[in-house]
């Protein structure tokens, strides 16, 4: 059994009376976890309120208040690749994440995530990621060290003030000359929910894509997302007919299976650039990882 040393949090949303029980709320919010499992966790003191007090089965639902719980999994995979710290000061930590490692706990991953690995290696308990990249993607991730400045750095991403550059590899495009595309469309959750889809409506996803070179086996692309929708680059590449090598979600969803560590998704978050909101300096952080070109 893997149990996180760090609590996760969920907020009880506003609701019409009569309010649901906390057990009912948690069961609806996390349908993959049975009501009986939540009942046991609550009885064992593993669910807390904002005052760090144990919640009971009879505790009242309080709209807009938070519930803290500790994620559990029966068997947690061990990702056999290491992260690397690229930069650390009193405000931010910049790390390069390996393929297959999630940024934060999720699904069957509790301690095996970038955030908790870095908490252990640095001793900085207040670390918080300022953005996400897919578990299958490797590359640069920016985390906040200081709660007081966290909002300043977070707003850089919210306001589109961070320039992000990715590299991707596809199958060879022997007849395709180097070219560029601006892809603009609308991305929403599909079915199943972890897989996104393009839908009609107002544009909410934009990416600049450029083919750099193609050899007998592979083609190399530079990708610049101008928005940050889930799986955006994977969907935009697939929509152009350039599926990223080893992508198990797009263009077709493959059957679920264990990760093949010898065949990572050929997508790398290579570089982050932004103007530091505290110092006004231009900051640039680059991964030293390489795709299988």
Residue 285, pLDDT > 80, answer yes
CA distances from 135 to 123, 215, 257 (A): 23, 28, 15
**191-238 tens-digit pLDDT:** 888 899 999 999 999 999 999 999 889 999 999 999 999 999 999 999
Predicted structure pTM score: 0.86
Q: Residue 99: what pLDDT?
A: 98
- % the chain with pLDDT above 70: 99
Residue 6, pLDDT > 80, answer yes
Residue 131, pLDDT > 80, answer yes
Domain that holds residue 94: 84-161
Answer yes or no: are the C-beta atoms of 81 and 135 closer than 8 Å.
Answer: no
In a domain, 94, yes or no: yes
**25-60 tens-digit pLDDT:** 999 998 888 999 999 999 999 999 999 999 999 999
Pair 26, 93 in one domain: no
Strand partners, 130: none
In a domain, 226, yes or no: yes
Q: What CATH code is carried by the domain that includes residue 239?
A: 3.30.2350.10
Residue 84, pLDDT > 80, answer yes
In a domain, 78, yes or no: no
Q: Residue 193: what pLDDT?
A: 83
Residue 174, pLDDT > 90, answer no
In a domain, 287, yes or no: no
| 196 or 175, which is more confident | 196
In a domain, 139, yes or no: yes
In a domain, 31, yes or no: yes
**142-166 tens-digit pLDDT:** 999 999 999 999 999 999 999 999 9
Residue 70, pLDDT > 90, answer no
Number of domains within the chain: 3
Where residue 2 falls among pLDDT bands split at 50, 70, 90?
low
């Amino acid at each position: 059994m893997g149990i996180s040393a760090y609590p996760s949090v969920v907020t009880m949303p506003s609701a019409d009376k009569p309010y649901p029980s906390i057990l009912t709320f948690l069961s609806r919010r996390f349908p993959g976890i049975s009501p009986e499992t939540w009942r046991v966790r609550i009885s064992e003191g593993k669910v807390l309120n904002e005052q760090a007090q144990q919640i009971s089965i009879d505790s009242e639902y309080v709209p807009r208040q938070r519930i803290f719980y500790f994620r559990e999994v029966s068997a947690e995979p061990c990702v056999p690749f290491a992260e690397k710290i690229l930069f650390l000061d009193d405000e931010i930590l910049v790390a390069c994440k390996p393929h297959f490692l999630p940024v934060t706990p999720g699904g069957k991953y509790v301690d095996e995530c970038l955030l908790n690995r870095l908490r252990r290696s640095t001793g900085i308990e207040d670390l918080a990621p300022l953005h996400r990249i897919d578990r299958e993607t490797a590359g640069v991730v920016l985390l906040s060290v200081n709660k007081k400045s966290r909002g300043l750095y977070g707003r850089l991403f919210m306001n589109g003030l961070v320039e992000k550059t990715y590299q991707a590899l596809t199958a060879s495009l022997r007849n395709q000359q180097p070219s560029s595309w601006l892809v603009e469309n609308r991305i929403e959750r599909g079915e199943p929910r972890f897989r996104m889809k393009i839908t009609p409506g107002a544009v909410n996803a934009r990416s600049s894509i450029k083919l750099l070179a193609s050899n007998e086996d592979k083609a190399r692309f530079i990708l610049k997302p101008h928005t940050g929708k889930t799986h955006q680059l994977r969907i935009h590449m697939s929509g152009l007919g350039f599926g990223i090598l080893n992508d198990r979600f797009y263009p077709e969803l493959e059957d679920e299976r264990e990760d093949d560590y010898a065949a990572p998704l050929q997508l790398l978050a290579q570089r982050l650039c932004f103007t530091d909101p505290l110092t006004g300096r231009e900051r640039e952080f680059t991964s030293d990882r390489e795709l299988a070109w």
